[in-house]
Amino acid sequence: MAQSKRDLPITHALKQGREAFFAFRINQATQQFRQVIQNDKDPVNQAMAQYHLSAMAVWQFGFGQTTAGLNEFKTQNAALNTALRYVNDPLWRRFLTAESAMHRAIVGVLRNDMLGAAMSGREAYNNYVWCIEQDPYFEEAYKGMGLMQVLIGSAPRAYQGLLGFLGYRGTVQDGLNHLERAIKKAKWVQEEAAIYFALSDEILNQNERNGIQKLSELQKAYPQSPLFNFLYGYALRNKFKAREALPYLEAAARSGKKSETVSPAIFLFYLGELYFRLNQYDEAIRDFTRFTQEFEGTTLVGQAYFKMGQALEMGGDRTAAVAMYQKVKAGFAYDMDEFALRQAALRIETPMTPVEKQLLRLQNASDAGDYAFVLTEVENILSQTTISSVNLAEAHYRKGLALQKAQRYEEAIVFYARAVQNPGDPLAKWGPYSQLYIGECYEALQQPENAILAYRKALMYREKFDYHKGLEQRAKTALSRLKTGN
């Protein structure tokens, strides 16, 4: 098997630092990498240590979104760029230059600085391309190239023309292929490649390539790691396996009590949201409250207050619920935050009706994977004669989704079609997402022509309906998957 002539062995000291990093023992990892910088005379090893410090700072800022975290990232990233001046090997220097730029691009996205992210992303992309052109067997570069292609392939259509003009090329499937290559053949970036592969496959690709298994393997390799417990629990949550996800998210959120590990406050949001899905409202309110008290960023905060309001209203405390709804503010333009803001305004004006409470219980059951409950209880809503059009559309959507999960695809299409025809509210997700899932049903029925047509129809909606960005990414990825045969 051919391999790069530029292989770089991992020293014992760097290996110890990496293991501490993946276990999320951040202080220990930091000390270990700093010792390498101070004691190892090889400029490449010094740069690799500084590269890991920059990477850790990206993760910490992403989870914490604090000003101190941002400043720490800037410090570590600048130090990496300085260290690269002393690396003589052009391939490793350009690779680490690409990684440094990728770090800045990720932080730019997290800060909603899309111009800065685009400029850094272009620098990263060009350097990854150069590395692969110089040595096609330089496996480390395929992680970054794969991630870039996933991001390019899933970018909103408003950016596609600009990306093409700037010379960016790639689809989600191309990116997954390169990430998988890095998992199998790279030495330094295998774990990161596995994370990006699994999350991209799960969020954008219906887990068609069993990416979640990669996270399971990492969690087993580092069973005490808050990072890998969280990522595996998060992936199980997204597959609507709430009961299975709960112990992993609990371990992730609680493990920070041990002084040697770091457990970011944002983990509490996802733990609270999981309890909410399981109708354990007291536990959900407890963890949402801790999240809003400890988290210093803005992402998901509005969603946490909205969920607390719903939990309180389901428990009969309308006054306390309204107080929570009033705390919902606009954060970054993420789908979940936009949804929370719109729905909170509605809930302040209008209490939840008995039917809306029934629908919320169905939503929780669906999100937790209890589709048998949904199929039984949804009939109580569909049999009502005075139900509003938007509530009826949601009921059709819920029944369609439960039938789809039960692999009763033809029946699911019937109910999805009803939600498409009568969505009730053009800003609600019931019509557009039903159209998306019709495509998934046809894909499962091995009717690619009908699936492609359905996905294209899903992309024809122009309103900024709830979770519109997520739909666009998923529909575009599905079309890419069907066209490439992956």
pLDDT in tens, 53-111: 999 999 999 999 899 999 999 999 999 999 999 999 999 999 999 999 999 999 998 88
pLDDT at 202: 86
Residue 422 zone, left/alpha/beta (φ > 0; ψ -120 to 50; rest): beta
Name residue, tokens 């990720």.
106
SS (H, E, C) 373-402: HHHHHHHHHHCCCCCCHHHHHHHHHHHHHH
Which structure tokens are listed for 417? 């079609």
DSSP string, 265-305: THHHHHHHHHHHHTT-HHHHHHHHHHHHHH--S-TTHHHHH
Question: What burial class does residue 449 get, using C-beta atoms within 10 Å of its C-beta: 0-12 exposed, 13-18 middle, 19+ buried?
Answer: exposed
pLDDT tens digit string along 329-345?
866 556 677 788 888 99
d(CA 123, CA 179): 19
Q: Is the pLDDT of residue 454 over 80?
A: yes
Question: What burial class does residue 385 get, using C-beta atoms within 10 Å of its C-beta: 0-12 exposed, 13-18 middle, 19+ buried?
Answer: exposed
pLDDT at 158: 56
Name residue 120's amino acid. Answer: S
In this prediction, residue 255 has a pLDDT band, given cuts at 50, 70 and 90, of: confident
d(CA 200, CA 106): 15
The closest alpha carbon to 449, from 482, 474, 415, belongs to 482
Q: Compare 297 and 255 and report the one with higher pLDDT.
A: 297
| CA distances to 296, 311, 377, 387, 404 from 383, in Å | 46, 26, 10, 9, 21
Cα within 13 Å of Cα(372), Cβ side: 0
| Contacts of 379 by beta carbon, 8 Å cutoff, 6+ apart | none
Q: Is the pLDDT of residue 30 over 60?
A: yes
d(CA 127, CA 377): 55
Label residues 413-443 b or e (16+ Cβ within 10 Å = b): bebbebbbeebbbebbbbbbbbbbbbbbbbb
CB 309 within 8 A of CB 341: no
pLDDT tens digit string along 361-412?
999 999 999 999 999 999 999 999 889 999 999 999 999 999 999 999 999 9
Q: Is the pLDDT of residue 166 over 80?
A: no
| CA distances to 222, 305, 364 from 276, in Å | 28, 12, 7
Whole-model pTM?
A: 0.89
d(CA 197, CA 180): 7
Which structure tokens are listed for 235? 């992936």
pLDDT tens digit string along 207-249?
889 999 999 999 999 999 999 999 999 999 999 999 999 999 9
d(CA 19, CA 395): 48
Region 149-174 average pLDDT:
72
pLDDT at 342: 87
Name residue 419's amino acid. Answer: A
Which structure tokens are listed for 199? 């999350």
CB 237 within 8 A of CB 270: yes
Q: What angle do CA 92, 97, 100 make, to 5 degrees?
A: 125
Q: What percent of the chain has pLDDT over 70?
A: 94
Region 307-319 average pLDDT:
97
Region 134-150 average pLDDT:
95
Q: Is the pLDDT of residue 160 over 70?
A: no
Region 33-43 average pLDDT:
96
In this prediction, residue 485 has a pLDDT band, given cuts at 50, 70 and 90, of: low
pLDDT at 480: 83
Name residue 7's amino acid. Answer: D
CB 68 within 8 A of CB 56: no
pLDDT at 204: 82
Name residue, tokens 């110890």.
16
SS (H, E, C) 17-86: HHHHHHCCCHHHHHHHHHHHHHHCCCHHHHHHHHHHHHHHHHHHHHHHCCHHHHHHHHHHHHHHHHHHHH
Mean pLDDT of the chain: 91
pLDDT at 65: 86
pLDDT at 267: 96
Q: Is the pLDDT of residue 159 over 70?
A: no
In this prediction, residue 161 has a pLDDT band, given cuts at 50, 70 and 90, of: low
Q: Is the pLDDT of residue 205 over 90?
A: no
Q: Is the pLDDT of residue 134 over 60?
A: yes
d(CA 147, CA 152): 9
d(CA 19, CA 315): 45
